[in-house]
Structure 1
Amino acid sequence: MQYTLRHIAAAIALATPLLAATSLANTIEEIIVTGDFRDIELQKMPASVTVMTAEDIERRSAQHLEQLLALAPNVNFSGGSSRTRYIQIRGIGERSQFASPINPSVGTIIDDVDFSGIGSAGTLFDVERVEILRGPQGTRYGANALAGIIAITSTAPSEDFNGYVESMVGNYDSWSLGAASGGALTDDLLYRASIQQYKSDGYVDNTFLNRDDTNGFDEFTLRTKLRWLTSDNVTIDTSLFFIDIDNGYDAFSLDRDGDTLSDEPGQDTQKTTAISVNADWLISSKLNAQFIASYADSDLQYGFDEDWSFVGIDPENEYSSTDNYIRDRKNSTLEAHLLSGEEGRIFGGSTDWLVGIYFENRDVDLKREFLDFNTFTDAQLSSDYQTQNLAFFGETTTALNHRLSLTIGFRVEQWDADYKDSSAVILDTDETLYGGKVVIDYQVSDDHLLYASLARGYKPGGVNTDGTLNQAEREFDTEYQWAYEVGNKSSLLDDSLQIRVAAFYNDRQDMHIKDSIIPVGGPGAFVDYITNAAEGSNYGLEIESVWQATDALQLFANAGLLRTDIDECDTAGCIDLVGRDQPHAPRYQYAAGLKFDVSEKVFVQLDIEAKDEFYFSSSHDAKSGSYELLNAQMGYESETWSLVLWGRNLTDEDVETRGFRFGNDPRDGYTTHTYVQLGEPRVVGLTGRYKF
């Protein structure tokens, strides 16, 4: 079946340009990118960007961000939790978090609220679009965007009253029920509100407890958005939302057969209340001002049965423990920037400009409950990690002539971090970080754009807290990255065919590498810590294409090629990694598919996604398997209601999202094995929607 799926995908990809040569033109709807300072058409933005719309979300029947990511070239994610918390772009990004604080490489922004490092909040009900900006976003987002940014935007308020009610049922006792509506409360005040509950038993059977829901999902999302048109020149958008995730976590099988034996299954929960305010003030035709403020309070609890078994499995050799992490995270941001209007350009009207200031405060209190393997007694660790960063940024875009433009951006960021814990570990860092970009783009014609860019990104260093580490292993330094990119964006056949191509090379300096040690007396435990390698490189190619062949037929094909290396290493722990691929960096990914409207109301859709094998970690050589997945939909849509039968991973392939290599089974003397967490198996369901 894998052989067959590869050839189907190849046929779809090849058919796009070949059939387009003989087809009638059908214009593709324009897509606007909003994740940068100024809104810009996707085909005009000189950067590698993927935008997934509400229609893409509906087509995949996606409940969560992790079910969309395969559409984006060179974007991967890791398991180790019930939902995707950690994302990798072009092979760069974290894979897990335990006691040590982390500063994310990939930022996650939801309605102007920073959720970087806790992507589990990425529920997708009533979401308008998801944008993935690849490469360092040093000017716009700074410290949280070494590899890129993911921006999720829920549906905006509208003047016309509209809404829908949606329900889904599926296998694994999955169901959801949600409703959304929007319209005008007054002439000057618009609203949008949505609410959804999603539940599923999950995909794991716990044979010891005779339960099938220990790795299940229970996710509630409530959003409210208000748009206040205070005057012709001022608009204030307010987003208020509440997310309550109460998922189980029981993912690793001691017998390596997919079934678990845990007697104390874990949990992965999040309760977040968040608010953001975005005020846009058109001061004059020369000047525009924007102010953004946000606040989020998140209670997070993540824990698991550390021995993956039950008391009595091997009385002579067993151990029994759980590991539980309870975090209270509060973060607030303030941003203000001024942008030139059409009549406010400088240098003879050739140059758009902007300047701004940004402040963020993040405070994370941790309480860890665990088994101390030195004394084999219950223990606790409490810590407080507070970061503050103040940034100044600016950007100019100069029209060198009517086709050639030059963009220069910079960001200077003062980063302060304070850490202290109950083990008397104290860290106080204070550093100034620099980033930015230079982009030159050439508009060959209205339909063809060429660009080249150089960007500098950064990710602050930090502290390691787990285990008995020497002083040299307690801290690690800031990572810097120089990113080079060239690309082309073309619209062909009267805008019925769009192609976007980007080639990139990232030079990573003082690259962060995660290593681990196994403490004495702890057969099932390991201690993660982060160190710096001297240098690494990530390079590759990204291609996205969509073709509206006829009014009834649309095809797409996306692909990513990636090579990653650890070029040099100046620490003993990673000498053996020189020349090896970096973790969670598959050498290829692709997604291809088609949607065919059988009639005005009936459609079918088929798509395929694939991913190469990749190393799970830099601390061992275990790899995932490669895979090809088949997804399909068939539905009926009228003006007021729709009914869609859908399925993902229809061939029921194993998708390995996280892996460890160590001994954890007392029955075989703790012999080393590779243990993996599996992603979504074959899932099928029926979704109905009534629109009003």
Structure 2
Amino acid sequence: MNTNKSTLSIAIALAMLSHSTLANTEQDEIEVITVTSDFRESSLQATPVSATVLSADEISSVSAQNLEEVISLAPNLNFSAGSQRARYYQIRGIGERSQFQEPINPSVGVIIDDVDFTGIGSVSSMFDVEQVEVLRGPQGTQFGANALGGLINIKTPDASEQFEGRVKLTAGNYDSYGAGLMLSGPIAEQVNYRLAVEQYQSDGFIENDYLNQDDTNNRDELSARAKVQWSVNDEVTVDFGAFIFDFDNGYDAFSLDNNRTTLSDQPGVDKQDTRAFTVKLNSTAYHYAELDLIFSHADSELTYGYDEDWAYVGIHPWEYSSTDYYFRDKKVSTAEYRLTSTQASKLYGNTVWVAGVYAKTEEEDLTRQYTYLDSNFSSSFEADTLAGYVQFDSQLTDALMLTTGLRIERRDFDYDNSDGYQAKPDENMVGGKVVLAYTLANQDLVYGSVNRGYKAGGVNTDGTLPETLREFESETVWNFELGYKANFDDGFIRAAAFYMNRDDMQVKSSQELKRPDGSSEFLIYLGNAAQGSNYGLELESGWQLNDMFSLNASVGYLDSELDDYINQDGVDISGREQAHAPKYTAYLGLNVDISDALSASIGISAKDEFYFSDSHDEKSDAEVLLNASVTYSADNWTITAWGRNLTDEEYKTRGFYFGNDPRDGYQGKQYYQLGEPAVFGLTVDYHF
């Protein structure tokens, strides 16, 4: 029996009866789930886009410490390791997998409370999070260049008018401990606050035999968030937010023997120290438009480094010994001025509108310390973005809504490095959407949409590249989507079918150049070397079987293809699946209310195999993971015993192909980073 295929079949069969955001309500009530990442907050049922909203209860059901531990609940969402925490995500097969020396432009955005953490989202702690929103497909009208594949929006709770608090303590295997404190309430009349602080530590699940240590891949993570809401008067509200993330993690994840036992004599690190803030002003004082002003700034110091040889001096006569470290100072500032129509400013009596201007400045200074460099490599760049957007929602009939949106973005890029290379590319990019949504008599929603997304171009830093290969241009994607959403008395369903046409894909390419002496040089660079197509299905549903049992499930199917692409090894792989694009993802969960105080949940997630890269043929294995929890609640106390990957399945999250082991003569083979083994623990929550 094929367990992976069986799991997928079960999930598909039950998906019509279940949903991943099932409400814990009476059977005659339907929970209204709000999407906050759109221009106007709206219910998930009425939002014509393929989206998953994961509530705090769902995050708790898998005892997630970080964003990477909840993505299995959303269809067609994957992540790339190669670091201590997941930093890069792929939606519908689109998204980056790593970053080293080159500046990159991510394809999937990560936003936390209006602050842009794209590319540095490994600090996405799940403590005191209200919901996680996953929007699939390009979100070019609202979010621009960093949402080619989609967007992950993390929303934390707002400050409360009444005092409340929470203490969370957790302990698990691998010497894992966590403590969190949340306080919220009034500071003064019309001023409320919310403060959430959490410290988490774990030895990690790597054993370093050479150093005789079990904490070289450890986690030491501090997360602190503060919110203040000031109701200036009946018409003006100002929200302040501040963030501190201090992640001082080790990085020792790759083994010469492809297991969780390493031989590194100089284990690496994966650190991030971020300070960020946001200010949002909302005013309804104007008769013809509601005004939003949003400012944000994030300053991050990132250190990423590893023992390149994964071994110790003396392991073999043919050994080499080297380390590779990247020190980045990254600053991102954004400002947005947005006007939203009021009843008085509707166009033609049936059209509401949104118009705005957005500005973003990114600065990044890099120092690379690498054993085989004569001196440190350094680079710096600044990217300035200015965009204008407009969206119209026209109620053509009582049941038919037409949405049109347009965004025009200008990006100026200034780059220089210690090799003497300088570049100042600039480009104009255009995105937008046209959506027709029809509400049936029973309030079911049917929609069709065409979206155009884009991702900015950039530069290659290899000093031997000719000028013609130094720069690459923006990538664009057209997304065609049909969707259906329905609510029932005791369940609901959401389904979407999509086709994406990728143009000028930014992929690693290669070229062989002849030197003056007749020898050849093989150059690897990022270029607009391929076309691609991604199409598939997404289905989420839920069913309250009775007062005791509820079922939830999600299924994603993805078929991706590279067109007209010769990879960096000179091999034509046209027609092959794109990297990190599993053909299916699935989740099936059962929740049981045993009594008023006792409940249990069990979840099975499945994912198909996928290529690790476009440059070689190595793949992950198809995986099936089992999670479970038992919760006891009494008064203000909640005690949860939980476990993830309870069958201790060995699965791969990142892979490479090259020779790195002197013991076998540096024979080329697959090396991979393993995912989380069986982890379990106990969490105590006290609300007051």
Contact in 1 for aligned 2:593/2:600 (Cα 8 Å): yes
Tell me, in whole angstroms, the C-alpha distance in 2 between the residues paired with 1:19 and 1:363: 45
Q: How does 1:22-37 map to 2 (within 5 A)?
A: 25-37=27-39
Contact in 2 for aligned 1:194/1:222 (Cα 8 Å): yes
What residue number does 2:606 align with?
610
Matched, 1:643 2:643: no
SS at match of 2:188: coil
What residue number does 2:493 align with?
499
Matched, 1:689 2:680: no
Tell me, in whole angstroms, the C-alpha distance in 2 between the residues paired with 1:100 and 1:219: 27
Tell me, in whole angstroms, the C-alpha distance in 1 between the residues paired with 2:568 and 2:649: 38
Q: How does 1:376-387 map to 2 (within 5 A)?
A: 379-387=375-383
Tell me, in whole angstroms, the C-alpha distance in 2 between the residues paired with 1:690 and 1:571: 54
The match for 2:47 among 39, 45, 48 is 45
User: Which segment is superposed worse, 457-466 or 668-677?
Assistant: 457-466
Q: How does 1:393-404 map to 2 (within 5 A)?
A: 393-404=389-400
The match for 2:649 among 630, 646, 653 is 653
Matched, 1:59 2:53: no
Matched, 1:355 2:355: yes
Tell me, in whole angstroms, the C-alpha distance in 2 between the residues paired with 1:451 and 1:169: 46
What residue number does 2:504 align with?
510
Tell me, in whole angstroms, the C-alpha distance in 1 between the residues paired with 2:432 and 2:11: 39
Give a deviation string over 1:288-337, Cα, whole Å, max 9, x none: 1111000111000000000111111113x111100000000011000011
What residue number does 1:88 align with?
90
What residue number does 2:341 align with?
340
Cα offset, 1:25, TM superposition: 3.6
When residues 116 and 92 of structure 1 are mapped into structure 2, their CA distance, relative to the original with a 3 A threshold, is same
When residues 635 and 8 of structure 1 are mapped into structure 2, their CA distance, relative to the original with a 3 A threshold, is farther
Amino acid at match of 2:578: Q
When residues 3 and 566 of structure 1 are mapped into structure 2, their CA distance, relative to the original with a 3 A threshold, is closer
What residue number does 2:439 align with?
443
Tell me, in whole angstroms, the C-alpha distance in 2 between the residues paired with 1:584 and 1:221: 29
Tell me, in whole angstroms, the C-alpha distance in 2 between the residues paired with 1:42 and 1:568: 38
SS at match of 1:343: helix
Contact in 1 for aligned 2:451/2:479 (Cα 8 Å): yes
Contact in 2 for aligned 1:369/1:378 (Cα 8 Å): no
Amino acid at match of 1:556: N
Amino acid at match of 1:534: A
When residues 615 and 467 of structure 1 are mapped into structure 2, their CA distance, relative to the original with a 3 A threshold, is farther
Cα offset, 1:552, TM superposition: 3.0
Contact in 2 for aligned 1:515/1:618 (Cα 8 Å): no
Tell me, in whole angstroms, the C-alpha distance in 2 between the residues paired with 1:12 and 1:346: 45
Contact in 1 for aligned 2:34/2:42 (Cα 8 Å): yes
Amino acid at match of 1:458: Y
Give a deviation string over 1:374-402, Cα, whole Å, max 9, x none: xxx55310100110000000000101100
The match for 2:559 among 563, 584, 607 is 563
Contact in 2 for aligned 1:99/1:466 (Cα 8 Å): no
Contact in 2 for aligned 1:505/1:540 (Cα 8 Å): yes
Amino acid at match of 2:296: S
Tell me, in whole angstroms, the C-alpha distance in 2 between the residues paired with 1:565 and 1:13: 23
What residue number does 2:423 align with?
427
SS at match of 1:511: strand
In the alignment, structure 2 segments of 5+ residues that lack a partner are: 20-25, 514-521
What residue number does 1:522 align with?
none
User: Which segment is superposed worse, 378-387 or 507-516?
Assistant: 507-516
Matched, 1:124 2:126: yes
Amino acid at match of 2:491: L
Q: How does 1:265-664 map to 2 (within 5 A)?
A: 265-284=267-286, 286-315=288-317, 317-347=318-348, 349-372=349-372, 379-466=375-462, 468-492=464-488, 494=489, 496-515=490-509, 529-569=525-565, 576-664=572-660
Cα offset, 1:554, TM superposition: 2.0
Contact in 2 for aligned 1:533/1:574 (Cα 8 Å): no
User: Which segment is superposed worse, 462-471 or 115-124?
Assistant: 462-471
SS at match of 2:599: strand
Contact in 2 for aligned 1:303/1:323 (Cα 8 Å): yes
In the alignment, structure 1 segments of 5+ residues that lack a partner are: 520-525
Give a deviation string over 1:632-687, Cα, whole Å, max 9, x none: 00010123101100000000111211000000111111100100001111000000
Cα offset, 1:6, TM superposition: 6.0
Contact in 1 for aligned 2:16/2:493 (Cα 8 Å): no
When residues 609 and 285 of structure 1 are mapped into structure 2, their CA distance, relative to the original with a 3 A threshold, is farther
Contact in 2 for aligned 1:166/1:688 (Cα 8 Å): yes
Q: How does 1:8-27 map to 2 (within 5 A)?
A: 10-11=9-10, 14-15=13-14, 17=16, 25-27=27-29
When residues 551 and 159 of structure 1 are mapped into structure 2, their CA distance, relative to the original with a 3 A threshold, is farther
Tell me, in whole angstroms, the C-alpha distance in 2 between the residues paired with 1:621 and 1:19: 37
Give a deviation string over 1:329-386, Cα, whole Å, max 9, x none: 0110000110012332111x100011100000010000000022xxxx5531010011
Contact in 2 for aligned 1:16/1:547 (Cα 8 Å): no
Question: What is the RMSD of the two structures over their aligned residues, measured on CA atoms?
Answer: 2.1
Contact in 2 for aligned 1:12/1:593 (Cα 8 Å): no
Cα offset, 1:156, TM superposition: 1.1
Contact in 2 for aligned 1:6/1:628 (Cα 8 Å): no
What residue number does 1:112 align with?
114
SS at match of 1:208: coil
Tell me, in whole angstroms, the C-alpha distance in 2 between the residues paired with 1:278 and 1:445: 38
Contact in 2 for aligned 1:5/1:630 (Cα 8 Å): no
**Count of matched residue positions in the alignment of Structure 1 and Structure 2:** 675
Cα offset, 1:155, TM superposition: 1.7
Tell me, in whole angstroms, the C-alpha distance in 2 between the residues paired with 1:689 and 1:517: 58
What residue number does 1:248 align with?
250
Amino acid at match of 2:635: E
Contact in 2 for aligned 1:539/1:562 (Cα 8 Å): yes
User: Which segment is superposed worse, 604-613 or 252-261?
Assistant: 252-261
SS at match of 2:440: strand
Cα offset, 1:17, TM superposition: 4.8
What residue number does 2:519 align with?
none
- Calculate the TM-score normalised by the size of structure 1: 0.94
SS at match of 1:98: coil
SS at match of 1:367: strand
Contact in 2 for aligned 1:289/1:337 (Cα 8 Å): yes
After TM superposition, the runs of 4+ consecutive aligned structure 1 residues lying more than 6 A away are 516-519
What residue number does 1:182 align with?
184
- Calculate the TM-score normalised by the size of structure 2: 0.95
Tell me, in whole angstroms, the C-alpha distance in 2 between the residues paired with 1:8 and 1:678: 22
SS at match of 1:57: helix
Tell me, in whole angstroms, the C-alpha distance in 1 between the residues paired with 2:546 and 2:466: 65
When residues 261 and 515 of structure 1 are mapped into structure 2, their CA distance, relative to the original with a 3 A threshold, is farther
Contact in 2 for aligned 1:559/1:588 (Cα 8 Å): yes
When residues 19 and 438 of structure 1 are mapped into structure 2, their CA distance, relative to the original with a 3 A threshold, is closer
User: Which segment is superposed worse, 361-370 or 51-60?
Assistant: 51-60
Aligned-residue sequence identity (percent) comes to: 49
Contact in 1 for aligned 2:549/2:591 (Cα 8 Å): yes
When residues 576 and 497 of structure 1 are mapped into structure 2, their CA distance, relative to the original with a 3 A threshold, is same
What residue number does 2:517 align with?
none
Q: How does 1:169-248 map to 2 (within 5 A)?
A: 169-248=171-250
User: Which segment is superposed worse, 475-484 or 262-271?
Assistant: 475-484
Tell me, in whole angstroms, the C-alpha distance in 2 between the residues paired with 1:214 and 1:255: 17
Tell me, in whole angstroms, the C-alpha distance in 2 between the residues paired with 1:409 and 1:401: 19
